[in-house]
A and B are shown apart, each in its own frame.
Chain A
Amino acid sequence: MTESLKSPTPIRLRGRSFLAIVLSPELPFSNWLAGLDDLARRSTGFFLGRPIVLDVAGLDLSREALEGLIEELQARNVRIMGIEGARASLLGPGMPPEMRGGRPAGDIEPAEDQAPTEAAAKPPAAAPAAVAAASPASVPQVTTVVPPSPASLLIETPVRSGQSIVFPEGDVTVLGSVASGAEIIAGGSIHIYGALRGRVMAGSVGNPDARIFCRKLEAELLAIDGLYKMADDMDPQLRGQPVQVWLDGDAIKATTLN
């Protein structure tokens, strides 16, 4: 610390976006938590190592109730990175920081005359569900965060167990299969030309029009815009079939293709 304060070397601040999962609890919490337990039980490790944001907008909560909820989540190994939609009086020391936005992070420019540590400690003004992180380096430079990216991602190889493809910018197309234990999270639709055996989440940044297409349905989990279905909830008739999945209001609909 003292070192960096003395040193005139400016540090470089970089933005980095992460796709966070937003949990929107509903009252009564006991029911909502039971639903969460059910999801966690059926999809082990789902919340592990993911950035998770708690959206409490529209809930009239006391600070005690919010603390209680966070404790309940912690007991389930769900660590909350930030809170969205809470009154300022609810937050403060000991609570996860406030988050707003949901837009990509803009450039972060270090002010020349500021002590580097101060600059580093200053949070970016608009942190989206994508979070801006700062990392030090030796050259003063303004870094652009995300280059304009194509709205679709094509994967020509099978997606293997343990692999995770996250593409909030748009559609994902996989020419091979998606293995059991693999997952794809897309901002748009997901097209799989092989067998779908893993987990896929389409429209993950709030797009109810996203769809899922696959040549052979054997999925562990299907989700569109946060609404999900597990393998056991799916119509057994659809197993092994070429299938299209879409959202009709709050219901996930699926039908065979052709």
Chain B
Amino acid sequence: MSKVVVVTSGKGGVGKTTSTAALGAALAQTGQNVVVVDFDVGLRNLDLVMGAERRVVYDLINVVQGDAKLAQALIRDKRLETLSLLPASQTRDKDNLTAEGVAKVMGELRKKFDWIICDSPAGIERGATLAMRHADVAVVVTNPEVSSVRDSDRIIGLLDSKTEIAERGGTMEKHLLLTRYDPNRADRGDMLKVDDVLEILSIPLIGIIPESMEVLRASNLGTPVTLSDASCAPAKAYSDAARRLMGETIPMAVPTDRKGLFGKLFGRRAA
């Protein structure tokens, strides 16, 4: 049974695209057949983060409009043969995405892949609602700050009302992915605490991704962070989150900064 996952947040710049690529690659590394789908029409990024920007010929809108076959638009990853990308259009208008057209493409993808991971655009408009419309599972990407949490709350409301599952009277499975978590700022009290975010959003936590240079480096190289350096902290956190998505139970740790702690102790002594 294939699963359609929407990676969504309301707010922009929180790490949806980064997370889509990292989770997709981590799932594909376990041998599952995975496609990552870019719904951010007009502002596509996923091709860059996946390092496939020079290989885009056809895109989601071409397929929705029947100008290209799905197989022509899918781009197979060069590093992982179980991983594919369905890119968004950079030039077309997002009004070309129709609900029926997207439903048809999703149906075809379900036949080919175990996991269909949809990268949602920011906002609560058409693009975002179409990306979540056919999902079975939602990964709600949130940064530990007030505006991001509020936007996520809004998105959860839409997941519970504007999706096919909700319209059939069901409830969508939802997971919170806390990203760009900075242990130093958390220590100083400059960020919301993990518990506070969980209390406000009241959906289960699937992972905490630390703020890390590795993420920037990987995305500049066009490699999902889980493929570039599997041993770094964000890659491990993403891999664990992917396993939890597959139903495994893995203990979760709140990232700490050892150096930071040491520095603090040392600083106190010197004073």
Residues of A within 8 A of B (CB): 157-158, 160-163, 176-177, 179-182, 195, 197
Contact = CB atoms under 8 A, between A and B. Distances in A.
Interface in B151-199: 151, 153-154, 156-158, 160, 199
A195 B150 contact: no
Interface in B111-165: 124, 150-151, 153-154, 156-158, 160
B250 interface: no
Contacts of A162: 124, 154, 157-158
Given A157-B160, A160-B160, A181 B154 contact: yes
A220 to B, nearest CB: 11
A177 B153 CA distance: 11
B200 interface: yes
Interface residues of B, number: 12
Given A176-B202, A179-B200, A181-B153, 14 more contacts: A160-B154, A160-B157, A162-B124, A162-B154, A162-B157, A162-B158, A163-B157, A177-B200, A177-B202, A179-B150, A179-B153, A181-B150, A195-B200, A197-B200
Contacts of B158: 162
Nearest to A194: B202
Contacts of A179: 150, 153, 200
Nearest to A180: B150
A162 B151 CA distance: 9
Nearest to A162: B154
Given A177-B200, A177-B202, A161 B160 contact: no
In the A-B complex, the 4 residue pairs with the smallest Cβ-Cβ separation, listed nearest first, are: A160-B157, A161-B153, A161-B154, A162-B154
7 contacts: A160-B157, A160-B160, A161-B153, A177-B202, A179-B150, A181-B150, A195-B199
Contacts of A161: 150-151, 153-154, 157
Interface of B: 124, 150-151, 153-154, 156-158, 160, 199-200, 202
Contacts of A180: 150, 153
Contacts of B156: 160
A158 B202 contact: yes
Nearest to A218: B200
Contacts of B154: 160-162, 181
B160 to A, nearest CB: 7
A28 B212 CA distance: 59
A195 B151 CA distance: 17
A181 B124 CA distance: 15
B10 to A, nearest CB: 9
Contacts of A158: 202
Contacts of B153: 160-161, 179-182
Contacts of A197: 200
A104 B103 CA distance: 42
Most chain A CB neighbours (cut-off 10 Å) among B124, B156, B158:
B156
Contacts of B160: 157, 160
A73 B162 CA distance: 34
B20 to A, nearest CB: 23
B124 to A, nearest CB: 8
Nearest to B152: A161
Contacts of B202: 158, 176-177
A227 to B, nearest CB: 27
A181 B153 CA distance: 9
A163 B80 CA distance: 42
A191 B182 CA distance: 37
A179 B160 CA distance: 15
A163 B199 CA distance: 18
A179 B156 CA distance: 11
Most chain B CB neighbours (cut-off 10 Å) among A157, A162, A181:
A162
Nearest to A163: B157
Nearest to B161: A163
